[in-house]
Amino acid sequence: MSTPPFKILDPMQRLQSLHGRCAFAVMAKAPVPGKVKTRLSPPLTPTEAALLNAAFLRDTLASLGAAAQQSAASCVVSYTPAGQESAFIGILPEHTLLLPQRGDGFGERLSATANDLFLCGFSAVCLIDSDSPTVPTAEYVRAAEILLGSAGGQVAVLGRSEDGGYYLLGLAQPQPRLFEEITWSTAHVADETEQRAHEAGVQLIHLARWYDVDDAHSLDRLQRELAGDPLVPRGYEAPHTRQLLQTLESLAPVHGGPREEDVPHARG
C-alpha cells in the first residue's frame, strides 16, 4: 500500500512556520461504514452514511480552505483512529496536515487536540465539527481574526449549534477547564462550556448559530437548504454534499417548509 500523501504533525516538533497562524482543526473519524453517522441509518444505509460523512468532510475542508485564504489560518484534520490515514485518500487534498487524536473521552480528545496544536506552533486553535458542512465561510474567518487579534489573551470563540452543542470552539491559548465537567452529546454542552469559561475568567465571543446534521430531521433540513428552499437560510454551498444527496435513492424527495426552530439566529 502506498504511503498516504499527508503531513502528520508531531507536537514534539514545533514548527516556526505555524507561529502567528490559527489552526482550523476539523475533528474527524475515518469514513468507515457502520462507524460514522450511525444515527442516519436509517434512512441511509451504513455505506451511504459513510459516503455522506466523506462529503461533509470534503465540503468543510473546502470552506475552511477559502476562509484560510482570507485569514492567517491553516487547515488540519484531527483524526481517529490512528493508523487509518489511508482511509482519507481521495477525500482530503494532498499534503493536508493531519494530527492523530488522543485521549479516551470526547472532551479529552478535544483538549488534547488543542494542546497538541499549540505545541506544534500555532498561535490560535479552532476546534471544528465535521457535521456542519454549510456553516457560512465568513464565520470561520471571523473566528480566526478574533483569536489572532487577541494576542494570546483570555479569549475564546463559540459557534453554537441549534441542538445545544457547538460547531466551533476557538482558543487563543490552552484552556483545559473548558473541556471539564461537560455532559457530552447532550443539549447542555454549549451552556456548560459557557459556564466553564466564566469560571476560568475567559471572555467568550459568539459566532452566528448554525446546525449540525446527525439525524433524519436535520438531514431533511440540509436537503431543503441545498435544494434552495427560500424559507431555509443558506450558508456555504457544500457542492460535494449536494451532489451526493441528489444521487441517494434512500432519501425521500424534499417537501414542506422549515420549522421555526430550524432558523439559525446570530448572537453577538
CATH code for the domain of 138 = 3.90.550.10
Q: Is residue 86 part of a domain?
A: yes
Q: Is residue 1 part of a domain?
A: no
Does position 200 have pLDDT exceeding 70, yes or no? yes
**Is residue 265, in this structure, part of any structural domain at all?**
no
- How confident is the model over 138-176, as pLDDT tens digits? 999 999 999 999 988 999 999 999 999 999 999 999 999
Q: How far is Cα 3 from Cα 85, in angstroms, rounded to an integer? A: 9
**Distance between CA atoms of residues 206 and 4, nearest Å:** 37
Give domain status of residue 195, yes or no.
yes
Q: What range defines the domain where residue 73 resides?
A: 11-245
Supply the pLDDT for residue 2: 58
Q: Is residue 262 part of a domain?
A: no
Residue 253, domain member (yes or no) = no
Q: What is the pTM of this model?
A: 0.92
Residue 251 lies in a domain: no
pLDDT confidence of residue 93: 87
Residue 87 lies in a domain: yes
Q: What confidence score (pLDDT) does residue 97 get?
A: 96
Kindly report the number of other CB atoms within 10 A of residue 238's CB atom: 25
Name the domain count of the chain: 1
Banded model confidence at residue 261, pLDDT cuts 50, 70, 90: very low
Q: Are 52 and 37 in contact (CB under 8 A)?
A: yes
